[in-house]
A and B are shown apart, each in its own frame.
Chain A
Amino acid sequence: MSYDGLRSLLPKNDLLGFAVLALLLVVVLPLSLDIFRLNLVGKYLTYAFVALGLVLCWGYGGILSLGQGVFFGLGGYAMAMFLKLEASSPENTAIQSTPGIPDFMDWNQITELPWFWEPFNSLIFTVLAIVIIPSIFAYIIGVAMFKRRVGGVYFAIITQAVAAILTILIIGQQGYTGGVNGITDLRTLKGWDIRTDEAKYAFYFLCVFMLFVCLFIAQYVRKSKLGRLLVAMREMEDRVRFSGYDVSNFKIFVFCLGSAFAAIGGAMFTLQVGFMSPTFVGIVPSIEMVIFCAVGGRLSILGAVYGTLVVNWAKTTFSESFPELWLFAMGALFIAVVMAFPNGLAGLYNKYAAHHVEKLLGKKKGQSPDAKATVGTQGVAHERQ
């Protein structure tokens, strides 16, 4: 990309935001936190992938999906299946009645590796599957819904039902999926032990790197004509349709993109946390992921990352010291972010801090709040079904 292209993709304000985030994630946090805490931050960041996808779908496209946990889970399970197969080599599982298959299958009297597990022996297939399977799944849902002009709350309820279905299926089919415990006891990646501190550092930086890749893609979408069209559609879908655009295709695309982000997050989660279970797939985690996005500001892609970090940090701190208060705090957060701060942290930043920052940078005052802020306030006030 040429220099001019880069400048239009990342105007000065956004560049500063990206740089600050990069500094925080790449330099400040790894130097100031021990590996346990850094691993936690890495785990939180995997949710930021989902929140980022939701910014595009919900904030820009006006499509609220309450089933992002499905895609997070699909990505996470794909990764976990590969690692589990590697951990279940015939030597490691010699004590089982059928060596060479994952332990939970053996416990459930399954004697042969199911066909859909077979391809996950290959790392290349797994990496492709992490992105492609959830995208195809999202594409099917998207085509079925958006081509028929189903949107708004109906879409939210149906995606929620999909999340419920997948959770029940995973828990019910214990022999094929590990059931409610999920896929646990993952050990090595191509012979490299993933449980060491060294591996945890490596995965943290890999996660940050992937997050920035996704952030740049999101920024590209936001600045492109597609981003403008998404906003236009959210504000007044019929006018966009009458202007000759096929509205549903844009929605399907952004929904698939969001689900691919979520799936990458899920795979990163498995790598860093070392297991995957249906608790990250269902309705409750899916709605929690929406709140990460809402707290960060539903129109701000960087806000999604900060929102996720802040909410999860609060969750960990609260549940360590006052486990009972956490649900109250979480509930209050949902209500507050909807009623009082619909633009989240990014909205607060634009309102109170942005002009100070600009003053510090020695800019003229008149130029201040960029298009994002203006679009933001209107966007939330005019949200339609």
Chain B
Amino acid sequence: MFADYSTSELMSIFAMQGFAGLILFSVFVLMALGLAIIFGQMGVINMAHGEFMILGAYITYMTSNVFADYMPALFGSYFFVAMILAFIAAGALGMLVEWAMIRHLYHRPLDTLLATWGLSLILQQLYRTIFGAREVGVSLPDWLMGSIQLTDIVEVPINGIFVMTLAIGISIAIAALMYKSRWGIQVRSVVQNRPMAGAVGINTAKVDRLTFGLGCGIAGVAGSAFTMIGSTGPTSGQLYIVDTFLVVVFGGATSLLGTIASAFTISQAQSTMEFFLSGSMAKVLTLLFVVFILMLRPQGLFSLKMRK
């Protein structure tokens, strides 16, 4: 399949597809980070994660409309406001859900999966009722439009670069929060040994709620970023949920670094193959590859050595 292309063309193809893969990578990372925190740290399967992401996307959509109608002068900066609002809204909903549902189900991980799936159905229908079944898109501010020409064939869109920067920035912030802050230490100690963490005076219920809220909030930000590169519909979140779970499991659920590494591997594999094969076969091969590796190495790429 490579024979039809010259070497320089192949390099450019790899560069272009590699960059397209980087955008996919950013979405995966943003979604998977939230999921890795919730699943990896708390052991909760949140099937509604995609819907939290879409909540962020819809909030961004609404904010952009508000800015366009009332503050056209400030339109260039609406995205930052939208991102913060998306974080707060998704995080608040996440904490509410944790309080109402998840905290009763911590000892039944498979049941959280079913309950959150129910939640995702309800949210999807809610979005459909409020925003309609059609997909909505936001208009990008001027400074995010256009692209940078690198060589004759290779051209990178600015919104892609922005989303990528955002993904890197948020990953660093999360890593700092989990490994440098007092709160991160509390979260990790609750994960490792809940009764002992409680015994030394950590309010484990509160840590749980904040962790879940944080994970959902990041999903909201992911949704915000998602609007930069695609349109949003009530079921857009569901399309990504299986991929994202695979990213988290493949990376080794408890390791943030693993999550990022696996998001990178999966997105690059998929987007490079997409050029040579049909989109569906690329996806099938990628997923098969991941499932195969997981059968050989069930603990994922990076795993925390822990006595259970």
Contact = CB atoms under 8 A, between A and B. Distances in A.
A149 B269 CA distance: 28
B287 A161 contact: yes
B108 A169 contact: no
A154 interface: yes
B295 A153 contact: no
Interface stretch (B22-30, B122-130, B194-202): B122-130
A330 B287 contact: no
B284 A283 contact: no
A145 B295 contact: yes
Nearest to A150: B298
A252 B128 CA distance: 41
Interface string A154-198: 101110111011001101100000000000000000000000000
A330 B117 CA distance: 10
Given A157-B249, A165-B287, A334-B121, A385 B242 contact: no
A171 B284 CA distance: 11
A332 interface: yes
A364 to B, nearest CB: 35
A66 B45 CA distance: 13
Among B114, B120, B288, B298, the most chain A Cβ lie within 10 Å of the Cβ of: B114
Nearest to B246: A161
Interface residues of B, number: 43
Contacts of B245: 157, 160-161
A18 B119 CA distance: 35
Given A290-B114, A330-B118, A158 B294 contact: yes
B287 A164 contact: yes
Contact of A338 (B105, B283, B288, B294): B105
A150 B298 CA distance: 7
Contacts of B45: 153, 156-157
B157 interface: no
B41 to A, nearest CB: 14
Contacts of A148: 295, 298
A154 B122 CA distance: 25
B125 A328 contact: yes
Q: List the 9 closest pairs (A to B, CB-CB), nearest first.
A: A334-B118, A172-B280, A331-B122, A331-B121, A327-B125, A144-B295, A331-B118, A150-B298, A335-B118
Given A148-B295, A160-B245, A169-B280, 8 more contacts: A153-B109, A153-B113, A154-B249, A158-B294, A158-B295, A283-B242, A287-B114, A338-B108
Interface of A: 58, 64, 66, 144-145, 148-150, 152-154, 156-158, 160-162, 164-165, 168-169, 171-172, 283-284, 287, 290-291, 294, 324, 327-328, 330-335, 337-339, 342, 380-381, 383, 385
